[in-house]
Amino acid sequence: MPVNYRRSKRNNHNATIEIFGPEGRLLGFGRLAEYSKTGASFQAEAHLLEGELVRLRIRIFEQGILDVTARIIWRRPEKNGILVGVKFETVTRNTSTGSL
């Protein structure tokens, strides 16, 4: 059985993600692949670079709306775009549906 070196348990999900630049400008949308307390991976069409700081709005039915500041830690080309891995820096639960 392979060893799992992840810091927290991952959960699979396919929620839509809104991707914003650090200044709040909408960069695009993505599709959540999996998430944990410390980070997430998602499919994106937006051009995102490793090391870049982004703001994400994630709508997860069980959790509500999460506004997240995250750092891109890896990216990998896939058939339907790019799979991006991020490490969360801040996570805020939000009840409003407005823009960032």
Decide if 41 contacts 17 (C-beta within 8 A).
Answer: no
Is residue 65 assigned to a domain? yes
Give domain status of residue 38, yes or no: yes
Distance of alpha carbon 67 from the chain centroid:
10
Local structure of residue 8 (DSSP, 8 states)? S
pLDDT per residue of the chain (100 residues) written in tens, 0 to 9? 444 454 555 455 568 999 999 999 999 999 999 989 999 999 998 889 999 999 999 988 777 899 999 999 999 998 878 999 999 999 998 866 555 5
4 domain residue, yes or no:
no
Residue 2 belongs to a domain: no
85 within some domain: yes
Question: Is 0.95 surpassed by the pTM of this model?
Answer: no
Domain count, the chain: 1
- Residue 40 within a domain: yes
Q: What's 67's domain CATH number? A: 2.40.10.220
Please give the residue range of the domain that contains residue 57.
11-94
CA 43 – CA 87 distance, rounded (Å):
15
